[in-house]
Amino acid sequence: MYLITVFGNLLIIFSISSDSHLHTPMYFFLSNLSLVDICFTSTAIPKMLVNIQKQRQVITYKGCIIQMYFLILFGALDNFLLTVMAYDRFVAICHPLHYTVIMNPRLCGLLLLVSWLSIVFLFYCTSLGVYLISVSTHSMHSSAIASVMYIVVTPMLNLFIFSLRNKDIKGALKRFCGMAAIKGTTVLGLKNFLCLEG
């Protein structure tokens, strides 16, 4: 699931950036959501996989605090980006004639910027206090299952819900994969040609 999340979201980012038809606010925010999903899952899953491989369930206090910081940061950023994407769709549906004027590149950049640094503010003001308070008594097993669902499954589902069900993204993926296949075939053909000549 981790590999599907990372490679799938990377594919979405490359497809959107390579297709000029998708250089719109909605896809700008979607590519940023894909990047945040990669970062979100990468904060905890690699360490978890190492622990499973070594049969050790150890993390230092410093490592735990750093991991929690980035989990909260990227998790909250995910929520803010979803809010910004909802605003983008609201403008597109309710004000279609003014959409390009309202959702200009400057506003899109500003919305993305406001989503970032808000996350930092909210983390220092609220989340730090919550996690420094004593932990409530939950079973370790149920907490682990909930964490995996939240950290791995949700970002993977975002990939399918927001990207792969979209016909524009599917078209961009086909064009992107087609370009990669053409480049690979050209390189392979040139290599074979050079080998035959040599």
**Candidate from 9-13, 59-63, 187-191 with smallest mean pLDDT:** 187-191
Q: What single string gives the DSSP state of each residue in the chain?
A: -HHHHHHHHHHHHHHHHH-GGG-SHHHHHHHHHHHHHHHHHHTTHHHHHHHHHHT-----HHHHHHHHHHHHHHHHHHHHHHHHHHHHHHHHHH-GGGHHHHT-HHHHHHHHHHH---HHHHIIIIIHHHHHSPPP---HHHHHHHHHIIIIIHHHHHIIIIIIT-HHHHHHHHHHHHHHHHHHHHHHHHHHHHHHH-
Say which amino acid occupies 112.
L
Residue 140, pLDDT score = 58
Residue 4 has pLDDT above 80, yes or no: yes
Residue 161, pLDDT score = 65
> Alpha-carbon distance 5 to 49, whole Å?
15
* Mean pLDDT computed over 83-95: 90
Higher pLDDT, 46 or 133: 46
pLDDT confidence band for 137 (50 / 70 / 90): very low
Residue-wise pLDDT for 26-42, tens only, equals: 888 889 999 998 998 89
Residue 182 structure tokens? 């053409």
**For residue 159, what are the contacts with CB-CB under 8 A and spacing of at least 6?**
4, 5, 8, 9, 12, 34, 37
> What is the domain class of 2-131+140-172 according to CATH?
mainly alpha
Is the pTM for the entire model greater than 0.75?
A: no
Pick the closest to residue 12 from 45, 41, 35, 43 (CA basis). Answer: 35
